[in-house]
Amino acid sequence: MKEQLIELKSRALAAIEAAQDVKSLEDVKVVYLGKKGELTSVLKQMGKLTAEERPVMGALANEVRERFESEYNTKVSALKNAEILTRMANEKIDITLPGKRRRMGSRHPLNIVLDELKEIFTSMGYTMVYGPEVEKTRYVFDMLETHEGHPARDEQDTFYIDDETILRTQTSSVQIRTMLDAVKNNALPLAIISPGRVYRCDEVDATHSPIFHQCEGLVINKNITFADLKGTLEVFFKRLYGDSIQLRFRPHHFPYTEPSAEVDLSCFKCGGGGCPFCKGEGWIEMLGCGMVHPQVLRNCGIDPDEYTGFAFGMGIERITLMRYEIDDMRLLYENDMRFLKQF
């Protein structure tokens, strides 16, 4: 057995020396020290030895194992270092090549316009107020004098959660909630804007979407007149689009304002001369407005003989289209980087 161990040691060390990579070196270890390896096979013969021979052969077998493991670990370290040096030589980084630029995000055009709108109105003394998007029909329709069966509800048909709960069609519900709170807390007069998402069953086209954004304004105070409304909107639009913009007020009907008006702006494409975008009219409809109806004030507990007010509502998408001369609303929602990176 002694000769076997010495011969096995010699062959094992030679095999370690001949290994060219870590994989072949691991194969050598399996051949000599594995569960079915040559050293294990030799040690199985220990039972045939005398009591005097066993300690001697055991010590020799341990010496062979220790020497093998020592040489193996040294060789593994050398081979791994050689692999690292080879990779470093073959995988050099050319620092003269241009790096990959990290794309920086930017604000969405809707948010840019909304922030500018907020800045203009807050500088005029308005306060921003928000409300729930899932709303009661009482606040969206009934208290705004648009009772069940009113034809205006057909134009604003929306998504119903149940018979009394809907996705709001306008942020006017925030105005109702604000007036009720103001009366309860004795907080009149007030001047607010209420931006947020609204929902209607509209077809998707260049100017309509079932989900869009609105910003409505409300002022309640003593001796408020239509002249205050007109002056407010003129200041707002001229600050937003420049002094050259023209406004046109047309009589209209809204259940919750009296008198009411539609406001048009001169077309940004043709300057009012007429083009396909404004359908040859030279004007683009922008928003609805009017004096708060006395009955709406009464519904909220406000005396219309003491207080008057005006309200207006505009679509943020439409404001954005004019602000950046965009002719299709769908571009705002398609998340096309070729479009969005312009902002």
Q: Is the pLDDT of residue 205 over 80?
A: no
Stretch 99-118: mean pLDDT: 87
pTM here is: 0.67
Q: Is the pLDDT of residue 155 over 60?
A: no
Across the chain, how many H-helices and E-strands are there?
12, 10
Amino acid 120 reads I
**pLDDT at site 46:** 65
* Closest to 309 in 3D by CA, of 218, 198, 235: 218
Stretch 46-66: mean pLDDT: 71
Contact by Cβ (8 Å): 292, 218: yes
From the number of C-beta atoms within 10 Å of its C-beta (0-12, 13-18, 19+), residue 176 rates as buried
Stretch 119-147: mean pLDDT: 92
- Between 112-116, 119-123, 214-218, 321-325, the lowest mean confidence (pLDDT) is in 321-325
224 confidence band (pLDDT: 50, 70, 90): very high
Could you report the per-residue pLDDT of 269-311, keeping only the tens digit for each?
777 778 877 778 889 889 999 999 999 999 999 999 999 999 9
Q: Is the pLDDT of residue 153 over 70?
A: no
168 confidence band (pLDDT: 50, 70, 90): very high
Looking at every residue in the chain, the average pLDDT score rounds to 85
44 confidence band (pLDDT: 50, 70, 90): low
Position with higher pLDDT, 258 vs 71: 258
d(CA 308, CA 230): 15
252 vs 27, 106, 248, CA distance in Å? 91, 39, 12
276 vs 22, 115, 270, 284, 318, CA distance in Å? 75, 30, 9, 11, 17
**pLDDT at site 49:** 63
Position with higher pLDDT, 191 vs 44: 191
Stretch 213-241: mean pLDDT: 95
Could you report the per-residue pLDDT of 10-29, keeping only the tens digit for each?
877 788 888 888 888 788 77
> Who's near 228: CB < 8 A, 6+ residues apart?
219, 310
Could you report the per-residue pLDDT of 314-331, keeping only the tens digit for each?
999 989 988 888 888 889
Contact by Cβ (8 Å): 309, 224: yes
**pLDDT at site 154:** 66
